[in-house]
Structure 1
Amino acid sequence: MRYRGRGTGRAARTLAVASVMVLLAGLAACAPAASVKQTCDPTDRDHWAIAYTKLKNSYVKGVYWLVGGKPRPINNDKVIQAQTPSLSPDGRRVYFEGFYGKGGKYSNKMVLADTDGTHLKVFGEGISTPVWSPDGTRVAYRDTDTDADTIVMADPDNGHRHRIATDAATDPAWSADGTKLAWTSTGGTTFHWKSVDGGGEGSVDVVSGDLLTQAWLPDGKSVAVSLVVGDDIDLYLVSLSGKGKPRFLAKNVGAPSTLPDGTIGALDVAHPDADVSDYVSVDPKTGKRENVAKIQGDDVSVIACYP
């Protein structure tokens, strides 16, 4: 099965997939996540946990995590082909998009599991790109099993669902405080945002290039977006007010996400055919880049603490 991922994968290269967890230190098996209260230093990168979609030769290779430099399988169900993982904020559970089937016929579902691969639960049809809320009490995802793709918010434990978007949408992203969701119009240059509890909403048309993905800045007033301009994928800052032009932030990086220390995480796409890419942090004020990890893949999810 060919990779159908988001961000840099859609524009820079044809990729293959297997969800991989890279834990900078060991993660333990555990009980269901409740509302998360940070108890560790989010600036201590030695204690960050990183999940990502592993890519190799354009085909699914399985679900792994990397402990002590050695990859280990996290999913023992050989029927599932997985991508776009999202770690719960406490590191106890992981959502990912799972594909079932053979012979070129697949059905994509959402899968929830403990980070040791146990307690596997499978949900729905046509579900992709699940992302945990910052407090670990909700999950948002793209629901493609409708006339128009839409963004849905749900309770991880009881499955109660609430539709957030009604337009053709993809790539949901939570604000740092968990009160808002943003998403990208499918195939367009517009991103939308909305309060998940019935408050305000809005949209910004980014006409400078093709919009891929976005990540909220901690102040909740702007987002970092990856834009395709010509042959380049670069990182820009966009104000939610819609005023002013996107501000250039960093070159040859895409698929942004908000990191625990308030910087923006992104993949270096300067060498799209390389087996391993640099995952970097970008200071939203200065554009300064620092290497965080080597990633053999895409769709990165980072949390500050692990059990």
Structure 2
Amino acid sequence: MFAILGTLEFTVTGGISGMQHSGSADWAEHARITAKPLLEWIGEGLDECHLTIELHPLLGNPEQRLRALRLAKSEHQPLAFVMGSGEYLGPYVITQLSNTVRRATATGLVMAATVQVSLREYMGAFVRKVEHPGLLDPTVSGKATAGASPGLVSRQSTSPSMVQQVLSHAKTAGNVLRAGQNVYQAVKTGNPAIILGQVPQLLGVTAGALGPLQGLVNVAGLMRDGADLFRVGEDVLGSVMGARDSLNPVDLGNIIERISASHGSLEQAMTVLDSANTRLAELAADVLTRRV
């Protein structure tokens, strides 16, 4: 999932092909005698976002998707704008909607078109609606009784705090591992003595990732639908431990071989963790759009 606007989901496979996000700041200009004008900051301007969406039957019903966008614009309501990464950009309103028809039937039915959607930040009072009450709604969680429906009870078994812990552990581990990749890249071209001197730093990288990865495994193991993330966490944890073990012990005679093996294990860890990006993005979007 690329982004969600209210209940409208945008995906790369669904045709979104571009996004331009801009922000501005308001400055007042004061004239000065014999000197250049002086600028005084007044405040931040409203952020704007422009989406480009390709409509085609292979990507979904063009007419249906166009109607959904037009309806959202005509309701004149601010909508929660959330990126697939989980970043909540805030409420936005649709200020402009235009489409260029590239192919149509003889009766005017749109078959292919390019749609431009202009969004503008909304700074008024805004409360995100609960789209699926009882799923991740804190006002419902914990209230299921013995007579409640099994479906409702099962949906409550994964709490928002548990999902947020998984997302936090995964993000922390990813940041540490990406920083570690940069360290490996920086030292791999040095001579053995220089590389050997960097081993403590590389060991620190692996040690820094072990905590959040263990947390990811522990929490995912408690989630009703966290089996896939549990397996990812275990695989990544195993690769990171392999990267650590490859560096102990090391000496001038084996450092080149050991650093290569350690780097390979770290790369494998990143590959596996990145494979869960879509799943983690969906969890983040659920947390941000389905609870108050």
Band the TM-score falls in, shorter-chain normalisation = under 0.3
Q: State the TM-score, normalizing by the size of structure 2.
A: 0.27
Q: Which has the higher helix share?
A: 2
Q: Which has the higher strand share?
A: 1
Q: Which has the larger radius of gyration?
A: 2
